[in-house]
Structure 1
Amino acid sequence: MAAKPSSKVIITCAVTGAVHTPSMSEYLPLTPDQIVQNAVDAANAGAAIVHLHARDPNDGRPTADPAVFDMIVPRIREQTDAVLNITSGGSTRMTLEERLAYPLKLRPEMCSLNMGSMNFSIHPAAQKIKEWKYAWEKPYIEGMEDLIFRNTFKDIKHILKVLGEEAGTRFEFECYDLGHLYNLAHFVDAGLIKGPLFIQMIFGILGGMGADPENLTLMRTTADRLFGRENYQFSVLGAGRHQMPLVTMGAIMGGHVRVGLEDSLYLESGKLAASCADQVQKIRRILDELSLTTATPDEARALLDLKGSAHITL
């Protein structure tokens, strides 16, 4: 199925993630209540998709526990019609079985899917923090230097089968490097992925592509060659201080945008974002100034050929 031409920009909000830790920002959502409130407020501010991880309510460490997700996801669905995009990546410390436990239970409209194994680290950030709120944080951040995020071809094939083929879930294909586009093309050519594709191009993570505008152009033109421009939608994620400039560039190039405290803790230079909604509101103002219209959740569903919220198992 070809991608539908889009005159509307989908805003995805990644609420909390599994990279940042409580000591990095007092505003990072940690408890179920905080994650729910941030997600709902982001949706009310204009996010058509909310991308969700879970945190241990006691100390904020990343968790894949379905019981914790159950304290978050149903409450968001009760309060908003935003597309619920559940992580299949979790964190570098989780097994594939742990990462898939809740997605297989929920059978969501959308999941993230990292398109390769990679070094993925923010360990230099540990040097900037003088006081840690929880004992787990410092070894967690420093330990990233000697860890990889694993998603082998076999892992990806398994996820495509049990979530895609069997559960009707579609994917935000996370591409942190040029080679990830070729990995995606491999699965498309093998008939294991059907369009329309939703490619999340990610820049600025240590271990992946640098946040250079030229790299965004390279990813866009490479995706055109591999898939044909009419066969995919793309979105841009800029990590940290690169968030707003790169996602704005992506929107100008015809793409969609992703913001949220998972990707950047800041609203502007030197100023922490007090909520995910702050970032959504900022990018929406920028899009408005560029005469670009944001997509509603149902418009996002139509563009990405999602199965609809009525077909998830809550």
Structure 2
Amino acid sequence: MNEEDLNEAFHDVIVRSRPPESMDPGRALERARRARKRRQVRWAGAAVAALVVAAGAGPVLIANYTGNRSEAPLVAGDTGTTPSASTPTPVPTPTVVGTVAPKTRKSNDPWPEGQVDRTATVGPRADRAVTLMNNLSSSVPAGFSTPSLKFPDGRSMRWPQAQYASNDGEPDYWEYMATIPVQKGDRAGKLLVQSTTPDGKPATDPCTLARKFWGGTGACTVTDVSGKKVGVLTTNGHGSFDQWAAYRYDDGTVVYLAQAKKIDDSGRSPLTQPVFTNRQLAELATSAKFKISA
């Protein structure tokens, strides 16, 4: 070993055997300050980089915000020029509405709706006839009354009726009818209203329609009521009624309104004047309160 090797070995021993540096508080505080400054510099650089990225993405974000916000989420760098695919609106499938042919009565068919004969004595149809009677009573002009009078045998002179009117080979249809006594002083006459649901038969002129009521004969005139043509027939003194009006609606519903100055077999003196004039009778026949179409 020469002198140079000896010096190098001696230096190496001294370095490895040097004691650790003492914990000087001042030096430790200084090292902490320098480390804090280095961290602040790194954070500042990161913030600047973020601002640069945001500045570049800003116009894109604004464009997306001011456009249709429901099309797609806001993504930095997205130009917003490609709209998202819209969901097509489903086209409803047309519904075919079926038609039900009216029932045609056949021989030996049972009476409808559980009835024992043509007449409905309870249920909605009977109720409609009662309503028809009440509406007729409320239509009587001042000076007349509609008391609950009776025949000598005790039968009421006020009575409603709902009946199944179809015959064999005809479609189902119904007749609703109401009769009431009308009194003035000690004299009495009567009124009748009948509403028939559409029966499938063709329309006729107003006077032909009027003559179908109870086989009526007499002089008939056509009265115009706000464009509605009403047949008003005055009998020749025979039959139970002196006069009636007949009107057919476009749907086939037919209304008859009849009056008589006397009540047969009532034991009461007849009225000296009819309850309604021809015009009043025609107007009432077109009143919606007397129309029953079902």
Short-chain TM bin: under 0.3
TM-score by length of structure 1 reads 0.22
TM-score by length of structure 2 reads 0.23
Say which structure, 1 or 2, has more relative contact order (CA 8 Å, 6+ apart).
1
Structure with greater proportional helix content: 1
Structure having the higher Rg: 2
